[in-house]
Amino acid sequence: MTVVITGMGLFSPVGRGVEATFDALTGGKSGLTRPPEGHPARDSLEAAGVLPPIDPRTVATGPETKVLDRIVVLALLTAADALADAGIEVGRDVDPTRIGVIVGGVGGMSTLESQVIARAARGRAAVSPYLLTGILPNMASARIAISHGIRGYSSAVGTACASGAQSVADAARLIRAGEADVVLCGASEAPLFPTFADTFGNARALARGWADPTEASRPFDRRRNGFVLAEGAALLVLERAEHAAARGARTYAELAGYGTTTDAYHPTAPRPDGAGAADCMRRALAGGGVAPGDVGYVNAHGTGTKLGDIAETTALAAVFGTGGVPVSSTKALTGHLLGASGVVEAAACALALRAGRLPPTYHLDDPDPDCPADHVRGEPRATGTEFALTNSFGFGGQNVSLLLRRTTGTDSRAAGPGR
């Protein structure tokens, strides 16, 4: 069964919306900065991908807005964008029981932190009765379902930085199993608060020492020294191709295959030989009936950590050969949105296939000799490839690869989003 992407909702440090996102990724517009004065993570982060403040009352009403976590606010905004982009109104364009929603992420940890602080300062009376609905990981999916009348499958995925890509893979499984015609899937993350930032900082995982924060995220570069933490949300509308055609929908790309594996190696470090990641990519290719030589682009997980970039490069070489496929990491501009990164990057692949232009890895001035690859860098590269692959890897050894195929003819989204 063919599964296609018919809508996107993207809100990352480089912008909101489909065209703004791709223009930034191909034009070198960085979304990274020092958190501004008054930001809760100002003293914890030298560089970050920061979104503007958003009043929760723009997406919800009532007393719960006081503890409505930012992940839910972002998820609601991007869900509305994605459904509008797909031209879908639940009940009109899809049976409410035949549409699902899967949103990944770590949950409302900033709300939990603020409530723990309040209780420590003022006692038990300071704890909000709405705390649980502020922190539960499934609340983003639940709130979206409530807002749009979605009565089919609803779930949350918590596979660390692979959560968003895993949500997309799970959505494809639902559709291929005949359990849904449409699934809204992706992730929402808001990690820019002191405790979360400090745990990464104390683990020496964050980029540091860069006078210009826009240059701090440097995947595959010899001088890289960690990733840049970022917030954002990204949701895709996956749809059974026949259902999309029946309603006259246009598509961004086909989700041709996916792979999911586990390293079974270490809670945080990747397997040095990249075996789990390589197997994951091979499964995605097999699922799409595609040979390695058919793939013309890989959007890498590429966070800018020493071990992670080397392990991924090793895995890529095992599958495609050294320098066998053009590779780039858009995290150089967006930073690392944790679980939401994989969905932004899947969108980047779909848009690259549509436009025939591969986004480069910016700030890759001096490629690490331990990361030999056909790096796309400096400027976008023209391509006529039909297939692109994107990787997402998470703590616990979680590996997800998504294979996208270019769609043509009446399915090309030449008119752009927001019809």
Q: Catalytic residues, which ones?
A: 161, 301, 336
Compute the C-alpha angle 176/186/181, nearest 5°.
Answer: 30
Read off the tokens for 378: 């400096």
Which letter does DSSP use for residue 51 in this model? P
Smallest CA-to-CA distance from 171 within 412, 402, 386, 407 is with 402
Do 230 and 197 meet the contact criterion of CB atoms below 8 Å apart? no
Q: What is the DSSP string of 7-43?
A: EEEEEETTEESHHHHHHHHHHT---EEPPPTT-TTTT
Q: What is the DSSP string of 203-261?
A: TT-B----SSGGGS--TTBTT---B-BB-EEEEEEEEEHHHHHHTT---SEEEEEEEEE
Do 171 and 4 meet the contact criterion of CB atoms below 8 Å apart? no
Pairing of strands 48-49, 15-16: unpaired
Do 18 and 85 meet the contact criterion of CB atoms below 8 Å apart? yes
